[in-house]
Amino acid sequence: MPLSSLKPKMRPHSSLKQEFLKKWIMGLQRCSFSKKNMSILERKKAIKFSADIAMASARNGTTCWSRSLISNASKEGSDIHVVEQILGSESDRPAVENKVPTRRASVCKKIVKRSCRIRRRRRRRKCVASAPSSIAKHLVRKRREVLKSLIPGGEFMNEICLIEETLDYITSLRVQVDVMRSLASASVRASE
Amino acid sequence: MNRALPEMLQSSDMTVLERQRARLKWQAEQFQQQNYFSELSGVFSSQTGHVQGFQQGCLMSRGGARGDSVLSDMAMTRQLKHEPGLETAWQGLGKVDMEFAPCGYGSGPSFDMNHAISRTSSCPPAVAAAAAVGSKAVKGNSLKMGSTVGRVSFKKRKVEKSQNTEVVAEDESKRIKASEEERESKITGSSTHRNSTDKKENSGDTSKLDYIHVRARRGQATDSHSLAERVRREKISERMKYLQDLVPGCNKITGKAGMLDEIINYVQSLQRQVEFLSMKLATVNPSLDFNIENLYVKEVLPSCTTNFPPVGMAPEMENHSPYLQFNPIQQVVSGCGMEMGTNSCDMALRRTISAPVSIPEASFLDTSCFTDMQQIQPSAAWDVELQNLYNVEFPGSIEASGLKMEMEMEM
């Protein structure tokens, strides 16, 4: 995904927020419609879930993490109707389906990479790194793995994609937090 | 590491491309016509620190971060590589070399500007041929990060074809791979068979096209893989810079590991905020009906008065006073609906980034876990984003200024 398209996205926050809120409320209505008298934890889960899906759908399948999030959500059948509601049109479905082949391909790639890495590591066992560069690489690698675990669908990305996705994911999370917070405080104030 | 080359090819970096073009234009403007060949011979025979100086001058070295230098270098080389259409630009670039070298830019490796980086520039065979100039001067030496970053990064570059040997001879740590005969033949031949592909694998082909020569570090592979890896590294560092702007508090950190750490912390904190806020929303609403009135209230631009009572309440306000002026503006500007009035007290206290929890709802939580995660910093990123928001939503600015003044008065 070209980086230049990322930068402008950071700007029109309000439109993104509006969209996110709309979709989120839609999903929540669907949730509350289906189940009554949910426990607090269920509610929290529903809220978070619909928020995540709404956030991901706001990207319209352009980013990897959003597609991965949606496909993960679509997998567990219980809340799929919420996903459908939020996603709405059929346009998002192809994006979800496309994820699978990419995943397979990237998994294969990952396996190949891993085997190469293992082979290389075995070779280099003797001259193991006391060299500062390799220590640095090791550190970076560790952190990269942690980041991969954080970003949805991150395990299948190469490094460049990972950083791009992180960028996008961070902006989306920020929007999500902003909207949720404003809604929360508005609700609190309204209930007072 | 071997990255799939097609992958790299498909990744389109528009910004990089634009930057390349801009840079080329700049360079082309800067330097006028010269007779390449005469200069060439003259230049290269006398090169020592000139080349290195050229390096520095040419590369717009930024803050000394390794990524920056790499990036700028890479940008240059990438110009050479990517665009078959950059023929003239390539020539311009070639001129750069000529120009700078005689200027006597640097005097040996003692620059504390940015590292003299030795490069062997790479370019697609076509471009190289087209230039017919031994233009890509050999770049000096091993780079070293002078004071700024203490990390040694050795870069390999492909020498286009030039009489690198003389220059290289001065280089301590690099070994040239290029073959001189080929270069000379190219220079004399000045054939312009353009290779339309700008694939990197061709650049590694030193077989018959031989316009591209890779100079690599001792013991490293001098093939397309290393080049590809270098390009990849450049891309990564470029994206890390974007992340640096996005994540607050990353401006001071220059190492990749440190920055990744910050990024990880930030993402984790944001995720935790989402969890926490969803929990809060769950408690506030016994049923999941977020009534539309709430939304409606938020949509409408609120009066300023609603801001003040909460503002007066919190003692923590003082800490944030420098930001208070900004925050209301930002909120007003960006909210137009989202964070206005009713919520601006929360937002006004802290930026979203800095603290996840609003004060009035202190009953709800254990915010300490959040606050120590994020320091409140007057990072430039905020101002930039603020500016962006401000620019985007101009109508809100009037209220913003009014609000700001009232807030200040209140304080």
The string of pLDDT tens digits covering residues B74-126 is 444 444 444 444 444 444 444 444 444 444 443 444 444 444 344 444 444 44
* Mean per-residue pLDDT, B159-174: 43
| The residue to which tokens 């209140």 are assigned | B410
Dist. CA B26–CA B92, nearest whole Å: 9
At residue B334, the pLDDT reads 43
CB contact under 8 A, A14 and B388: no
Kindly give, in sequence order, each residue whose CB lies less than 8 Å from that of residue A3, ignoring residues fewer than 6 positions away.
A164, B13, B14, B15, B238, B239, B242
**Among all residues of chain B, which has the CA nearest to that of A31?**
B288
Distances from the Cα of A110 to the Cα of B2, B7, B347, angstroms: 12, 14, 43
CB contact under 8 A, B287 and A185: no
pLDDT over 60 (residue A60)? yes
pLDDT over 50 (residue B243)? yes
At residue B335, the pLDDT reads 42
Taking only the tens place, the pLDDT of each residue in B148-160 is 433 434 444 444 4
Dist. CA A115–CA B167, nearest whole Å: 41
CB contact under 8 A, B352 and A146: no
CB contact under 8 A, B11 and A7: no
* Mean per-residue pLDDT, B161-186: 44
B71, B16 Cβ separation under 8 angstroms:
no
CB contact under 8 A, B290 and A179: no
Dist. CA A182–CA A187, nearest whole Å: 8
Phi, psi of B265 (to 5 degrees): -60, -40
Kindly give, in sequence order, each residue whose CB lies less than 8 Å from that of residue B344, ignoring residues fewer than 6 positions away.
B302, B306, B307, B327, B328, B331, B332, B335, B403
B93, B128 Cβ separation under 8 angstroms:
no
Dist. CA B162–CA B165, nearest whole Å: 8
At residue B117, the pLDDT reads 41
Predicted TM-score of the model (pTM): 0.44
Taking only the tens place, the pLDDT of each residue in B304-333 is 334 344 433 434 444 444 443 444 434 434
H/E stretch holding A108: helix A92-123
Give residue A160's pLDDT band: very low, low, confident or very high (50, 70, 90). Answer: confident
Please report the residues numbered 7 through 66 in chain B whose beta carbons come closer than 8 angstroms to any beta carbon of chain A: 7, 11-15, 18
Q: Chain A: nearest CA to B232, how far in angstroms?
A: 8
- ipTM value, please give it: 0.77
At residue B269, the pLDDT reads 92
Dist. CA B298–CA B60, nearest whole Å: 47
Cβ pairs A/B, distance under 8 A: 210
Dist. CA B407–CA B118, nearest whole Å: 55
What letter would DSSP give residue B288?
A: S
Determine whether A132 is exposed, middle or buried from the number of CB atoms within 10 Å of its CB (0-12, 13-18, 19+): exposed
Determine whether B57 is exposed, middle or buried from the number of CB atoms within 10 Å of its CB (0-12, 13-18, 19+): middle
At residue B276, the pLDDT reads 87
Q: Which residues of A touch B291 (CB under 8 A)?
A: 190
Q: Which residues of B touch A187 (CB under 8 A)?
A: 281, 284-285, 290, 294
Pick the more confident residue, A142 or B74.
A142
Q: Chain B: nearest CA to A44, how far in angstroms?
A: 5
- Side-chain-side CA neighbours of B114 within 13 Å: the count stands at 24
